[in-house]
Structure 1
Amino acid sequence: MKLMKYVFITGLIFMLAGCGSPVRYQKSPVDKLVKQLSNERDFSIILYDMNYNESSNDYNHQYQVLIPKEDTVLAEITPWYTVSDMFFQKHVDNMGMEIVSKIDGKLNKKAAPPGYNHYVGNERYGRWENRNGNSFWEFYGKYAFMSSMFNMMSHPVQRSYYNDYRNNYYGSRSYYGPTRNGRNYYGTKSRYNQNRQSTAWNRKGSTFKSKVRSRVKQSASRSRSAFNSRRSRGSSRYSSSSYRSRGGGFGK
């Protein structure tokens, strides 16, 4: 028994010493927001804006949080948050979109057009109207501010888009709408998002944006490789020390 304890402790010390810094999952600001909103049955988090600080080499996000209440919808723009290169890269094409929603207590982390998960198609907030042979979503008067919030005046929601999302994408993969003239209807590079001129990202020039995309792609790739390598080494050392501890006690 003493031999088994000695071998196990020795192996554990070796494992901890050899691993260096422990590999931990780093929570994103969105994870923390989700935790803060855990008491809410329904909410949406939209990637409102993003930026890159060249002097500090920081990637930044700003979010819009929507929480439906009995007779209104609370909307709040968060402060700027610093995010990891991997998280920035993950959502580099999702500006202006919902990146997390919670409906009836169930989380959905697949990117979707703003409003598609809770407000569009919900008769509590509006109705489908037929115009020129097509069906478009319109909010009731008390929720008309959401048309502006979701940029629906210049980019109306057609029922065919909404049905395509609900039937083929909801909860399983991200949806960027139909492609027009080589561009998605929604997302960072869409005209829908680029019409939001007040955002920091959209005030930047195309050269800056291309540079950031290239930089974060390379940086995130290096970070991902380093993380996977450290996790693999930690896992193999743990397995090895665990095997030795079991072997030491087998013949006692």
Structure 2
Amino acid sequence: MKQFYRALGLGALVLLIQACTSQGPSFRKNPVDDLIKDMTEVPDFSIILYDMNFDEQSEQYQHQYRILKEPQGSDSILSETTGWLQVSPEYFNEQVDNMGMTIVSKTNGTVDKKVSPPGYNQYVGNEKYGQWRQQSDGSSFWEFYGKYAFLRSVLGFGYSPIYYGGWYDYRRNYYPYGRTYYGTTSSGRGNRFGTTGSHNSSRSTASTWNSKDQSFKNRVRSRVQRSASRSRTNRSGSRYRSGSSSRGRGFGGGK
């Protein structure tokens, strides 16, 4: 009889494994986590969502990232841009409004996954890289030191000023609460940062996403929302079935 119950328990375990592997979605590691792991020894870096796309032929959601990093023991900043990396529908949907933003930063060895305007978490407001300059009208803007002047271009600001008011608003009212700050344009119409923001649309180098027409963008947004929703539903159902199977196995294998 004990052998029978052991066999029954083993059978339930096999069914549980099959249910999790065949009915649940396959696990796809987030490429950003790989980038973070690859830079374990780098004390300071930023990962910016540089571009995004949906390849209709392969049906793949894709990201490109711009990485700024300061190697250990160096005060220079290196910039590199990745190739196209496949991401899950859930992650694409999570970041669909954040193109041009910093999605991960690391300062003094501490990783921060709060989404922020490019440079606002590390470089802007940091006296190591520059200083605030006051204008005749009383407003202040950020000026990078000559050694780091290239950051204006790399972060996508070009000749656009980085005003103290916007940065202070982010640091005081958004960052402490984990809220994403998109800012407003000087006219007060629309966002300054993010996928649809003026900062992103005015970038000097054309992006794949910006080159697509609005109908394509709408189709991708609608499609990825449905895909992400299905994946969440499948995971939820898999966890429910897994829990039920576990309880059944425990009852069958009791004393």
**What TM-score do you get using the length of structure 2 for normalisation?**
0.88
Residue 111 of structure 2 aligns to a residue in which SS? strand
State the Cα distance separating 1:235 from its structure 2 match: 2.8
**Residue segments in structure 2 that go unaligned for 5+ positions in a row:** none
Q: Please name the residue that 1:151 is paired with.
A: 156
Q: Please name the residue that 2:245 is paired with.
A: 237
Q: Please name the residue that 1:27 is paired with.
A: 29
Distance 1:243 1:43, change over 3 A: farther
Q: Distance in 1 between matches of 2:236 and 2:16?
A: 17
Q: Distance in 1 between matches of 2:19 and 2:70?
A: 50
Q: Distance in 2 between matches of 1:220 and 1:35?
A: 25
Q: Please name the residue that 2:184 is paired with.
A: 178
- 8 Å Cα contact 2:42-2:70 kept in structure 1: no
Would you say 1:192 and 2:199 are equivalent positions?
yes
**Over residues 29-88 of structure 1, what are the superposed CA-to-partner deviations in whole Å (9 max), with x where a residue is unaligned?**
111111111111221100000011112211110001111242310111011101111111
**Over residues 103-131 of structure 1, what are the superposed CA-to-partner deviations in whole Å (9 max), with x where a residue is unaligned?**
22222112101111111111111000111
- 8 Å Cα contact 1:11-1:244 kept in structure 2: no
RMSD in angstroms over aligned alpha carbons?
2.2
Q: Distance in 2 between matches of 1:104 and 1:22?
A: 42
Identity %: 45
Would you say 1:163 and 2:168 are equivalent positions?
yes
State the Cα distance separating 1:7 from its structure 2 match: 4.8
Higher mean C-alpha deviation, range 170-179 or range 91-100? 170-179
Q: Distance in 2 between matches of 1:89 and 1:134?
A: 37
**Over residues 194-217 of structure 1, what are the superposed CA-to-partner deviations in whole Å (9 max), with x where a residue is unaligned?**
112521111122222122112212
**Residue segments in structure 1 that go unaligned for 5+ positions in a row:** none
State the Cα distance separating 1:185 from its structure 2 match: 1.4
State the Cα distance separating 1:90 from its structure 2 match: 0.6
Q: Please name the residue that 1:45 is paired with.
A: 47
Q: Please name the residue that 1:11 is paired with.
A: 12
Q: Distance in 2 between matches of 1:18 and 1:78?
A: 36
Higher mean C-alpha deviation, range 92-101 or range 202-211? 202-211
> How many equivalent residue pairs?
247
Matches within 5 A, 1:79-158: 79-131=83-135, 132-158=137-163
Q: Distance in 1 between matches of 2:15 and 2:222?
A: 40
Q: Distance in 1 between matches of 2:43 and 2:165?
A: 28
Q: Please name the residue that 1:219 is paired with.
A: 227
Q: Distance in 1 between matches of 2:66 and 2:221?
A: 22
Residue 184 of structure 1 aligns to a residue in which SS? coil
Q: Distance in 2 between matches of 1:38 and 1:242?
A: 41
Q: Distance in 1 between matches of 2:251 and 2:82?
A: 49
